[in-house]
Structure 1
């Protein structure tokens, strides 16, 4: 799968992720929401959020959010609770919250609340690491999966048990 960044998603990771979500988790409707590089601001513990600029989304909001979810995410102070699968192919124990931040020049979706804990528990999420964020539904609840992107010329295979 070639994306605009010139990076390739390791097909093994894609297959494993889809198998886990659709097979073991009985998840439905997987969509690639964004591929992005983790910046210092995404990992800064004082900010406690993953920023996903709307202009960089690979899937339109109405394709992975219901009309009601769009309204709540855009208008409510808290946003909506979501569950997240991490790089180790496990549902993270703590929920995160999806919220819209309206900025002067850009609107951004953010995954917040427990983001710092998620990063601390998933050490492969480092500055300058490319990740993909996928959406899916489990029992109609919105969930996300966050996985690193591996360059095809990387010497080491990605380790899901790390």
Structure 2
């Protein structure tokens, strides 16, 4: 995993940075939801995230999955809401391929390789 975050020899890289840790909920792993939410207030770092960009995620199996980083404003009946970033377009493959389940602890790291934003999914040993 660290080799991916360091990048191939000769490529310009930046990072890695821990950006998010969470315990998965049942909605995080439901196929019909098809997204992994990162609540904005829970992000450890957010100064480089921009919604609407494509990204690459490297999972525990060293499989690369293309994702889209989107911004979701979730409205509540009370009138308030929460701001989230969501990793979509490939999240079901990540959940299935890594056998993720409710209550699994995960962390996301970010790095850039040749100016492309990448994420690494890390599960505790």
Range with bigger deviation, 128-137 or 20-29: 20-29
Compare the two structures and name the one with the higher helix fraction: 1
TM-score normalised by the chain length of structure 2: 0.84
Tell me how far apart the structure 2 counterparts of residues 139 and 53 of structure 1 sit (CA, whole Å): 27
2:114 corresponds to: 139
Q: Is the contact between residue 40 and residue 127 of structure 1 (CA under 8 Å) also seen in structure 2? A: yes
1:85 corresponds to: 58
Provide closer, same or farther for how the CA distance between residues 19 and 85 of structure 1 changes in structure 2, counting only shifts above 3 A.
Answer: same
Secondary structure at 1:137 match in 2: strand
What is the deviation of 1:47? 0.5
Q: Is 1:102 paired with 2:73? A: yes
**Ranges in structure 1 where 5+ consecutive residues have no aligned partner:** 1-16, 74-78, 150-157
Higher RCO (C-alpha under 8 Å, 6+ residues apart): 2
RMSD after superposition:
1.8
**Ranges in structure 2 where 5+ consecutive residues have no aligned partner:** 76-80
TM-score normalised by the chain length of structure 1: 0.66
What is the deviation of 1:130? 0.4
- The alignment covers a number of residue pairs equal to 118
Could you list the runs of 4 or more consecutive aligned residues of structure 1 that deviate by over 6 angstroms after TM superposition? none
